[in-house]
Amino acid sequence: MLKMDCFNKNFNVNNSDIYITAEIGINHNGDLEIVKELIDQSKSAGVDAVKFQKRTIEIVYSEDVLSQHRDSPWGTTQREQKEGLELSLEDYKEIDSYCKKIGIDWYASAWDIPSQDFLNNFNLNVNKIASAMTTNIEFIERVASEQKPTFISTGMCTYEQIQKAVDVFNNKNCEFVLMHTNSEYPSKEENLNLNAINTLSNKFDCNVGYSGHEASVSPSIVAAAIGAVSIERHITLDRSMYGSDQAASLEVHGLRTLVGSIRKLKYILGDGEKVITDAETEVAKKLRYWE
């Protein structure tokens, strides 16, 4: 069950569990066995949810793009490559059943309205708007009308564009978390600008998470430490596998390091009150110069 606290504006990130999503995306390469292996690894790492991407190829891409040459495991055109990466309704039914069986949430970012309708075949707890769709007002109005808590990515977006999306969700009275991100794949660490997490939170009076596309683990841990209420990271079985997102993804050991470090933050950061522990008192008896 989705932990809803991260959508609450009064959520105290230092004293609560941060919602962590392992983004499988299209790194499954159309193979349901890879999907299940990635779900298993995500579950063992302790994430809260896994995430996918759903597209209607003919809507998202023009025929000119789809007819272009592209070598892939599925053929020599963009169409064959993109169709090869799409999972079917039966695949998603299997994913839904498998996630319920092992006890992990799943959701997906739709890239068009029919794909959003497709996802409503399943009783998902949350929606996700990808950065590429955040400026599509018709689409975000459709998502907000569902009244489901929604993660909204802000990559490639200006303040004005983010404001329009926020206004839609506020007008629909739909809970949301903005997700700060840099939409480069992989992102250079000097371009991550993690301080924007608190800038966005203050400017739009909402909770903000972080969707990372960097190759390393530490920026996401820093993001969680400075106020991100949710963390999303792409995952892969092997960064050398075929696919445009693999290089910006974490392998299983990196995912486990990330989750373990984030789960310890609430204990490491504490409540901010200066206290002297009992053990410190005993050390002071031995070492302190007493006035």
At 224-281, the pLDDT tens digits run: 999 999 999 999 999 999 999 999 999 999 999 999 999 999 999 988 999 999 999 9
Which CATH number is 4-287's, of 3.20.20.60, 2.60.40.3140, 1.25.40.10, 3.20.20.70? 3.20.20.70
Confidence class of residue 60 from pLDDT cuts 50, 70 and 90?
A: very high
Mean pLDDT value across residues 84-102: 98
pLDDT at 15: 66
Q: How far apart are CA 203 and CA 222, in angstroms?
A: 21
pLDDT at 271: 87
At 103-132, the pLDDT tens digits run: 999 999 999 999 999 999 999 999 999 999
Mean pLDDT, the chain, rounded, equals 95
For 66, 82, 120, the CA distances from 75, given in Å and listed in that order, are 12, 10, 31
Task: Write down the residue that tokens 């993690």 correspond to.
Answer: 194
pLDDT at 68: 98
Nearest to 181 by CA among 150, 152, 149: 152
Domain boundaries, the chain: 4-287
Residue 1 has pLDDT above 60, yes or no: no
Q: How far apart are CA 53 and CA 128, in angstroms?
A: 9
The beta-strand segments (E) located in the chain are 19-25, 49-54, 69-72, 75-77, 105-110, 127-129, 150-153, 176-180, 208-212, 230-234
Confidence class of residue 145 from pLDDT cuts 50, 70 and 90?
A: very high
Confidence class of residue 285 from pLDDT cuts 50, 70 and 90?
A: confident
Mean pLDDT value across residues 175-202: 97
Give the least confident one: 52-56, 208-212, 272-276, 284-288. 284-288
At 19-28, the pLDDT tens digits run: 999 999 999 9
